[in-house]
Amino acid sequence: MLGQLRRSIIVSLIFFVLLGLAYPALETAIGNVFFSHQASGSLTAQGSTLVGQQWKGPRWFQGRDDPDNPAATGPANWGPRSKKLVSTIEARAAILRREGIAPTADLVTGSGSGVDPDISPADAYAQAAAVAKANGLSVGVVRRLIASHIVSPQFGFLGNAFINVLELNEALARLR
Instruction: Classify the phi-psi angles of 47: left when phi > 0, otherwise alpha if psi is within -120 to 50, otherwise beta.
Output: left
pTM for the whole thing?
A: 0.72
Residue 118 forms beta bridges with which residues? Answer: 164
Inter-residue long-range contacts of 147-152, CB under 8 Å, 24+ positions, other chains counted: 147/121, 149/124, 150/121
Q: What is the pLDDT of residue 7?
A: 94
Tell me which residue range forms the domain holding 69: 43-175
H/E stretch holding 2 reads helix 2-15
Q: Which residues pair with 39 in a beta bridge?
A: none
Letter string b/e over residues 41-64, b meaning 16 or more CB atoms within 10 A of that residue's CB: ebeeeebbbbbbbebeebbbbbbb
- How many independent structural domains does the chain possess? 2
Same structural domain, 131 and 55: yes
pLDDT in tens, 127-163: 999 999 999 999 999 999 999 999 999 998 999 999 9
Q: Same structural domain for residues 16 and 85?
A: no
Q: How many Cβ atoms from other residues are within 10 Å of residue 83's Cβ?
A: 8
C-beta of residue 151 within 8 angstroms of C-beta of residue 162: yes
Out of 81-85, 93-97, 143-147, which region has the weakest mean confidence (pLDDT)?
A: 81-85
User: Do residue 22 and residue 82 come from a single domain?
Assistant: no
